[in-house]
Amino acid sequence: MNLTLPSQRVSRVILLQLLVLASVALLLIVPTLFHLFANEHAAYDIRVQQALRAPSATEWFGTDSLGRSQWHRSLVGAAISLRVVAGSLAIALPVSLILGAIAGSYLGRWPDHVISWFIALLHTIPFFLLVVSVAALVGPGTGILPWLVGGVIWAPAARLVRTETSRILEGRFVRTSRAMGASPVQIFWRCLFPLVTPPATVSLFYLVPEIVGIDAILTLFGLGPKPPMPSLGGLVFEGIHRWDSAPWLAGCPCLILIAVCLGVHFLADRIAAQVNFGTT
């Protein structure tokens, strides 16, 4: 039984799926890459006689007030921050897909009302405030952060999936599949899932700078990684205190942060361009 999309769109959708998979895999691999390139010894080793050295050929990002290599600290910090980002997305994506698909499938009925109510409740409080508050109760550390962030950022993506689901379920190919006796699970996996995953991924990718911001503000409130473990946001806020005498302390980690965010945005833009082509 053929339950798939119309044949002329199949190759486009498969390409789109591969692009999404590659992007998600890349986002999961990047923290490990950062960690591989970082020298943890240089990141944590205190050398007071080499404190506050400006960027040079040997120390690309200079050194901090304790003589630690800012380049290696930035790489370790990026790995830690991006692990939080990747973990949050890995939690938020399936949650948004499942809840959004349920709400969209039962549009106007009680499952839709319940899920939409929770989405609206999450939208009443700024995400960062909710995460900061729960993190304040749980205590500092990075272990719980992906769960906290992933537990709140699924809402906008789920709202998008809900709308897309209700639109796709009206499609002729879905009605044909249903008439041919496909079960709701089969329709979800073979008709709905390939079409709603890319927009949900794009919507979550666009939230990456916000997740990095949440990670940074947690560090500002003393709820991020425990010292001496660095995070990108923590390095930026530490650097602000010495902005006049050592601007590289805040500026150099910012460069890595900007590069990562621009990269993720570029990926999201490429997928979005394909989504518009593949689903219209």
Query: What letter represents residue 221's amino acid?
Result: F
Q: Does 138 bind other proteins (CB under 8 A)?
A: yes
Tell me how far apart the alpha carbons of residues 152 and 149 are, in angstroms, rounded to a whole number: 6
* CA torsion through residues 114, 117, 119, 125, sign: negative
Q: Does 48 bind other proteins (CB under 8 A)?
A: no
**189, 193, 243, 277: residue in contact with other proteins (rule CB under 8 A):** 243
For the bound state, the minimum distance from the C-beta of residue 258 to other proteins, rounded and expressed in Å, comes to 6
Q: Does 55 bind other proteins (CB under 8 A)?
A: no
Tell me how far apart the alpha carbons of residues 163 and 103 are, in angstroms, rounded to a whole number: 9
**126, 184, 227, 228: residue in contact with other proteins (rule CB under 8 A):** 126
Tell me how far apart the alpha carbons of residues 252 and 59 are, in angstroms, rounded to a whole number: 12
Tell me how far apart the alpha carbons of residues 176 and 11 are, in angstroms, rounded to a whole number: 20
Question: How many positions of this chain bind other proteins (CB under 8 A)?
Answer: 40
Q: Does 128 bind other proteins (CB under 8 A)?
A: yes
Residues 192/171, Cβ–Cβ less than 8 Å: no
Instruction: Using CA atoms of 11, 14, 19, 24 in order, give the dihedral in degrees to the nearest 10.
Output: 180
**Please, which of residues 162-181 interact with other proteins by CB under 8 A?**
none
**18, 22, 129, 273: residue in contact with other proteins (rule CB under 8 A):** 129
**Please, which of residues 246-265 interact with other proteins by CB under 8 A?**
250, 254, 257-258, 261-262, 265
For the bound state, the minimum distance from the C-beta of residue 124 to other proteins, rounded and expressed in Å, comes to 5
**48, 49, 108, 139: residue in contact with other proteins (rule CB under 8 A):** 139
The closest alpha carbon to 59, from 31, 245, 67, belongs to 67
Site string for other proteins, 185-224 (x = CB under 8 A): ------------------------xx-xx--xx--xxxx-
* Phi-psi label, residue 6: left if phi above 0, alpha if psi -120 to 50, beta otherwise: beta
* 13 or 257: CB nearest other proteins: 257
* 151 or 194: CB nearest other proteins: 151
For other proteins, the binding residues (CB under 8 A) are: 117, 120-121, 123-130, 132-134, 136-139, 209-210, 212-213, 216-217, 220-223, 233, 236-237, 240, 243, 250, 254, 257-258, 261-262, 265
